Structure 1
């Protein structure tokens, strides 16, 4: 079990403080129903504690949040990795289309053909295909032995799909901020999300009351003078509001405040948005590094065969408090939005503009298959533990607890000590508690 490498795969081993790392490359079927058909490449990074390289250790598969993000790159034995390598050999998987796996972006997708061919290709990039990829990899690394899985956010959605379809492959399932609703469609997901985002706005403005006037000034300026971020992102009022994606993470409210506090600069032509502010906004808003997040954000909620049809935009109309024009014409605060993806982003973001038609086809796509099996989950015997963050901005706490009650034997830790990224921000503490819960030692 010491990191068996598939035939023909490249192997690179190197060290960081407290870690020995090995790079793995796998070729997996694009469509697992056609194992002899086209292959795509997956990259995964194995990490283990020094001196344990050749020991028989159980594997822990880490599934990153997203969709569309590669696994976090370690900087030595820090945060949850420090705890994990005490017991496990960890595999940090770049899910299909992300990181060093075969990329799927504006530069590569045109090789698939027209927009319809691109949409058909990306329809195979949801949790079901990701779990099938994991099952392709597992016997090649573990010799067929089951492994543990740690799923963060969307990675938790994948873990629940794993429990629904291949529980025999898992020895333990650990989930952080990632218990999905088993039956809510995208409209229901966003209908539950907007009130949470309102609460995060209220908490931010209570912490930094001076930001209310700053946000109004920026929105008023952009209403009259839409700007362009470095790299060509069209910075409108709606784009400014979407900086609220920061409010769901640890320290995110502080990051937003420090971004806003140097938003304007005096110039010979009068006050203008500062280059520093515009560059900071670009670093938050651009999808250049993770276009699949925008393209597949709503598809991860599609289960009943219906099209998602830009649910976040449609449901937003039910919450007029997010109307910036209304706020500017009254004494109401300008509210930031959350992780929602809107169709205007396809025109605003240079990384998405060439993929606009592809995104529209995915939004209109029907026939999405169910991702979860409530009956099989109810019969679950895999030791499972989940951290549920109180009033998580990204994953509804009510939906998460409903799912927790459905999964047999699952133990929850509900906490307001951390935000959605607690597994990273909390150091070893979050993973340590989940391992103890799953193993029944607390």
Structure 2
């Protein structure tokens, strides 16, 4: 295998130094389908950016162990940072950080409408995307570790990155020194339906909490939804803002710091015009960034497949919604939604319309491979520590604790101080705590 000097499998394109950090841009050539012994198949490119602190000399930094960061998603690229802060500031004291663009994202053979068209029809596109789940991401990581010549490395997984970390523990634990997970203990077994049964309840409770803080916003949300039913409003991109798309601003509810920003968004909603009250351009522009998937279409296309194991997901969130009519846009007082993905996304979002066929194909797939090995996790020997957020609306606390009990030696820190974005609010403190837990475990 090629080393850091370059080669067919690995090259470093550029190095930079600024604001107390050094970066190196790594490009790896990996198999599209791993574990095909003796078969020369298609390859893709995986990009990862290395971050280290200038408090270490270049020679010292090169000797530091690796910390692999697996970001949330699916469909989100690795973080691009301009200084070491939060968890990265804490981690850079002891590690070189490898920030992976998971396959299909960022600079890692990106998947978008234009690139998927090269694969053929919707069935061929779906066949291709079956290789973009956690099992393939983990195989990429382990392949890259071998190319870098690294000893078993440390992993930090946030949200979906934590799901990937559990897959890593299931199928390649020999590559891991220790694992830290924040808001990302996935259910190991069961259908996607039980995930959404839990998360709809959490999101409903979070709506109630929010409206107790801002009771005037209860009326405002209903007023906006009714206005959108009766009056066509259009975003700057030309697409219509429907009541159900407006409900997507509930993404604010998943955060500590962001939740209060929802109030500032809603207060900008209406403006007086010659034709009466209409939604303001300011409000519509803010909403556009919240309801469009043009920047990460893979998130919508692959979202339910991250729960697929042996059976079709079949638009689980859409089906489970029938049990929670308070989330329907025509409810008397409609609630705001979380991260659920519905079939109408692929009818109303122009960036997703061309992907409707492949999304339908993936929803109907029944042959999903297992993402976890419960027996192996039950005998796990790798130190693991996880932050579990008691009121997390995206990764349910009760399901997380069920998983924690099924992984031998997994230590949990359960807290109500943070929501799903805790690592963004106090990343330094959370990382330091989890790192102490895995090191004390030894």
Does structure 1 conserve the Cα–Cα contact (< 8 Å) formed by 2:12 and 2:24?
A: no
- Quote the Cα distance in structure 1 between the aligned partners of 2:336 and 2:31: 41
Asked if the contact 2:203–2:393 (Cα under 8 Å) also holds between the matched residues in 1, the reply is: yes
Aligned partner of 1:129 in structure 2 is 136
1:406 offset after TM fit, Å?
1.1
1:316 equivalent in alignment to 2:343? no
Paired position in structure 2 for 1:278: 284
2:14 aligned residue: 12
Once the 2 structures are TM-superposed, how far is the Cα of residue 419 of structure 1 from its aligned partner?
Answer: 1.0
1:330 aligned partner: none
- Say whether residues 1:156 and 2:162 are aligned partners: yes
Q: Please point out which of 218, 226, 233 is paired with 1:212.
A: 218
Instruction: Name the counterpart of 1:71.
Output: 78
The residue aligned with 1:29 is 31
1:58 matched to 2:70: no
- Measure, in 1, the Cα distance between the counterparts of 2:29 and 2:307: 27
Give the Cα separation in 2 of the matches to 1:344 and 1:37.
Answer: 36
CA contact (8 A) 1:262 1:277 kept: yes
Checking the alignment, whether the CA contact within 8 Å between 1:231 and 1:350 is kept in structure 2 is: no
- Count of residues in Structure 1 that have an aligned counterpart in Structure 2: 433
Report matched runs for 1:331-342 at 5 Å: 333-342=333-342
Would you say the 8 A contact 1:389–1:414 is kept in 2? yes
**How many Å apart are 1:46 and its aligned residue?**
0.2
Secondary structure of residue in 2 paired with 1:60: strand
Q: What is the alpha-carbon distance in structure 2 between the residues aligned to residue 413 and residue 233 of structure 1?
A: 44
Task: Tell me, in whole angstroms, the C-alpha distance in 2 between the residues paired with 1:419 and 1:307.
Answer: 30
Shift of 1:441: 7.5
Alignment check: 8 A CA contact 1:5 1:140 kept = no
Report the TM-score, using the length of structure 2 for normalisation. 0.95
Match 2:177 to one of 171, 181, 187: 171
Q: Does 1:292 align with 2:298?
A: yes
Stretches of structure 1 lacking an aligned partner (at least 5 in a row): 328-332
CA contact (8 A) 2:183 2:389 kept: yes
2:196 counterpart of 1:190: yes
Q: Which residue of 2 aligns with 1:382?
A: 382
| Change over 3 Å in CA distance of 1:377–1:306 after alignment to 2 | same
The CA distance in 2 between the partners of 1:265 and 1:293, in whole Å, is 33
Q: 1:432 to 1:370 in 2, by over 3 A?
A: same
SS at match of 1:324: coil
Cα distance between partner residues in 2 of 1:54 and 1:203: 52
State which drifts further: 5-14 or 318-327.
5-14
Structure 1 segments (4+ residues) deviating >4 Å: none
CA distance in 2, matches of 1:370, 1:227: 44
Question: Which residue does 2:406 correspond to in 1?
Answer: 406
Residue in 1 aligned with 2:52?
48
Unaligned runs of at least 5 residues, structure 2: none
User: Does the 8 Å CA contact 1:5/1:24 hold for their aligned counterparts?
Assistant: no
